[in-house]
C-alpha cells in the first residue's frame, strides 16, 4: 500500500520491496473463515500481484537492519544499501510464551484464528457440549477485537444450531473492560450480557494450557481501584456485585449463578476446563528486529519499533519510517490503522527526501475494529489515540454507527475486502 502510494506521489524513484512470501493474506477475513462464513482461499492472493509494477521485488527474508550504516542484511547473505527505509515487518505469534501452548495448539479443541482459522471452524463444528473458552494474552496483539469477534460468531453459530443448552461460552481476558471506547463499549456489553449471556472474567492472565486435560490456567492480575470483582467488570464496580444484565435498557444486578463458570483453584492458578479453547497467542516483532537499533529499548513497548506518534519517523534515524503492527504506536494494531498511517509516512518521507524535516503530524492514532457480532451484524468501532471515538463523518450521516447493523456486515464481508485488494493495495487514498 505504501509503496504503491509512494510510486504515485513521486515519479522515477528506485523502490524495492523485501518480502519473502509467495502468498499475501487478507488477515481481517480470517475471523470469518474461523466461523465458516468465508473460505480461506478467498483471503489469499499471489504476492506478485500485490507488488507494484514499478517496484523491484527482492524475495528474501531480512535478518538484520543496521540503520547506522543504512544497510539491510538478507538471509542469503546479501547486503542491501538504502537511502530511505520503511519498516513494516509485522508481529509474529509466540506460542512458547505460554506454558504448554505450543504442544496444545491445533489439536484437542485448541484453536486460534491467528494461527489456523480453518481449524477453528473444524473445532466449532465439532463443539457439541461443555465450555467454549475465548481468551487472549496480556501482551499486545494485532486486532485486539478479533478474539471477541470469533466468540460472538461462535455463540451465534451455537444458537442457530440449537446447541446453546449443552454448551457454555466463556470470555476471560487480562483486560478490565470489554472495549475502551463509547458507544461501542455499551453495545458490546449488550451483546455479551443480554444477547448471548456470556460469563466474563476480567484481570485473567492465561499462564498455562494443559492440552491433554483440556484445562486453561489463569492468574489474577490486580484490578484498578483495588476492586475485588473479577467477574463482570463495570465502571462502577460496586462492592459485592457479581454481574449485570440489561433488560430493555434497565440494568439489573444478577446473582452469581447467572454468571457462573466452574473454576478450580490450585495454588495461584484458577483453572477453567474447556472443550473448545480459542485464543490469541502472545505476539511480538521478530527476534532479530527486537535486537536492532530501531527497536524501543525499554518499557512496555520494548522491542517494538520506536516511531514518532504523529509523523511515523523513527525516533532514532531520520531516514527511516515505520508502519503497522511492528511499531510502538499506542493504538490498536490493524490494517485500518495502516490505511491512515500511509499518507502521513509519504508526506514526511518526501519532505526528508527534499532536504526538509518530517513535521507533518498527519497520523492521529486512527484505528478501527469491525466487530462482527453475528453472521449478519457488525459494529464498526473507529477511534484514535486516547480511545477517542473517530467515526467516519459520511458513514455516520448514513448509519447509526453506535449499533451493530446489517449494512456494516455487508461492509465487512464484501466492501472492505474489495477496497483492500482493488484500492488500498493499488495506492488509491480514500
State how far the Cα of 308 lies from the Cα of 239, in Å rounded to an integer: 41
Q: Does 232 bind ligand FAD (CB under 6 A)?
A: no
Is the CB of residue 39 less than 8 Å from the CB of residue 266? no
Q: Which of 16, 223 has the CB closer to ligand FAD?
A: 16
By CB under 6 A, how many residues form the interface with ligand FAD? 28
Answer positive or negative: Cα dihedral of 74, 80, 81, 87.
Answer: negative
Q: Does 154 bind ligand FAD (CB under 6 A)?
A: no
Q: Does 88 bind ligand FAD (CB under 6 A)?
A: yes
Instruction: Determine the Cα angle at 388 with ends 382 and 393, to 5°.
Output: 50
Binding span for ligand FAD by CB under 6 A among 139-147, 228-236, 380-388, 395-403:
139-147
Binding mask 25-44 for ligand FAD (x = CB under 6 A): --xx-xx-------------
Active site residue 326: no
Residues in 322-341 at the binding interface with ligand FAD, rule: CB under 6 A? 324-326, 333-336, 338
Q: Does 320 bind ligand FAD (CB under 6 A)?
A: no
Residue whose beta carbon is closest to ligand FAD: 324
Is the CB of residue 315 less than 8 Å from the CB of residue 91? no
According to CB under 6 A, which one of 57, 61, 385, 399 is a site residue for ligand FAD? Answer: 61
Of the residues 111, 241, 326, 369, only one is catalytic, namely 369
As measured in angstroms, the least distance from the Cβ of 72 to ligand FAD is 9
Q: Which of 18, 80 has the CB closer to ligand FAD?
A: 18
According to CB under 6 A, which one of 87, 111, 114, 294 is a site residue for ligand FAD? Answer: 114
Q: Which of 17, 245 has the CB closer to ligand FAD?
A: 17
> Can you read off the three cell numbers belonging to residue 294?
530501531
Q: Which of 7, 17 has the CB closer to ligand FAD?
A: 17
According to CB under 6 A, which one of 36, 90, 130, 343 is a site residue for ligand FAD? Answer: 90
Q: Would you tell me which residues interact with ligand FAD (CB under 6 A)?
A: 18-21, 27-28, 30-31, 61-62, 88-90, 113-114, 142-143, 146, 286, 324-326, 333-336, 338, 370
List the catalytic residues.
143, 369
Amino acid at each position: 500500500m505504501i509503496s504503491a502510494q509512494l510510486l504515485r506521489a513521486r515519479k522515477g524513484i528506485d523502490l524495492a520491496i523485501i518480502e519473502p512470501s509467495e502468498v499475501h493474506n487478507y488477515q481481517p477475513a480470517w475471523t470469518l473463515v474461523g466461523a465458516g462464513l468465508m473460505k480461506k482461499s478467498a483471503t489469499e492472493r499471489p504476492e506478485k500481484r500485490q507488488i507494484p509494477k514499478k517496484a523491484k521485488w527482492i524475495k528474501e527474508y531480512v535478518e538484520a537492519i543496521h540503520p547506522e550504516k543504512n544497510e539491510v542484511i538478507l538471509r542469503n547473505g546479501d547486503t542491501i544499501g538504502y537511502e530511505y527505509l520503511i519498516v513494516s515487518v509485522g508481529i509474529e505469534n509466540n506460542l512458547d510464551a505460554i506454558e504448554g501452548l505450543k504442544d496444545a495448539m491445533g489439536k484437542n479443541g485448541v484453536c486460534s484464528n491467528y494461527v489456523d482459522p480453518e481449524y477453528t471452524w473444524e473445532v466449532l463444528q465439532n463443539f457439541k457440549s461443555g465450555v467454549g473458552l475465548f481468551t487472549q494474552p496480556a501482551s499486545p496483539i494485532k486486532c485486539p477485537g478479533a478474539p471477541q469477534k470469533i466468540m460472538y460468531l461462535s455463540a451465534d453459530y451455537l444458537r442457530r444450531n440449537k446447541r446453546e443448552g449443552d454448551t457454555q461460552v466463556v470470555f476471560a481476558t487480562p483486560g478490565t473492560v470489554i472495549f475502551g471506547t463509547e458507544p461501542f463499549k455499551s453495545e458490546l456489553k449488550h451483546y455479551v450480557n443480554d444477547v448471548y449471556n456470556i460469563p466474563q472474567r476480567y484481570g485473567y492472565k492465561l499462564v498455562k494450557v494443559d492440552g491433554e486435560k483440556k484445562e486453561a490456567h489463569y492468574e489474577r492480575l490486580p484490578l484498578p481501584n483495588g476492586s475485588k470483582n473479577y467477574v463482570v467488570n463495570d465502571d462502577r464496580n460496586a462492592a459485592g456485585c457479581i454481574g449485570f444484565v440489561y433488560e430493555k435498557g434497565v440494568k439489573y444486578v444478577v446473582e452469581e449463578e447467572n454468571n457462573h463458570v466452574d473454576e478450580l483453584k490450585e495454588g495461584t492458578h484458577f483453572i477453567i476446563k474447556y472443550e473448545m479453547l480459542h485464543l490469541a497467542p502472545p505476539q511480538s516483532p521478530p527476534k532479530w528486529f527486537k535486537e536492532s537499533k530501531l527497536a524501543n529499548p525499554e518499557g512496555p513497548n520494548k522491542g517494538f519499533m520506536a516511531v514518532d506518534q504523529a509523523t511515523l519517523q523513527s525516533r532514532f534515524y531520520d531516514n527511516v519510517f515505520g508502519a503497522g503492527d511492528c511499531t510502538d504506536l499506542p493504538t490498536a494494531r490493524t490494517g485500518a490503522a495502516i490505511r491512515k498511517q500511509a499518507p502521513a509516512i509519504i508526506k514526511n518521507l518526501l519532505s526528508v527526501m527534499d532536504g526538509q524535516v518530517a513535521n507533518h503530524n498527519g497520523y492521529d492514532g486512527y484505528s478501527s475494529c469491525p466487530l462482527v457480532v453475528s453472521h449478519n451484524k457488525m459494529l464498526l468501532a473507529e477511534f484514535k489515540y486516547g480511545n477517542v471515538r473517530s467515526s467516519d463523518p459520511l458513514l455516520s450521516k448514513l448509519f447509526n454507527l453506535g449499533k451493530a447493523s446489517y449494512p456494516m456486515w455487508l461492509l465487512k464481508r464484501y466492501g472492505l475486502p474489495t477496497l483492500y485488494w482493488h484500492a488500498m493495495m493499488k495506492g488509491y487514498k480514500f
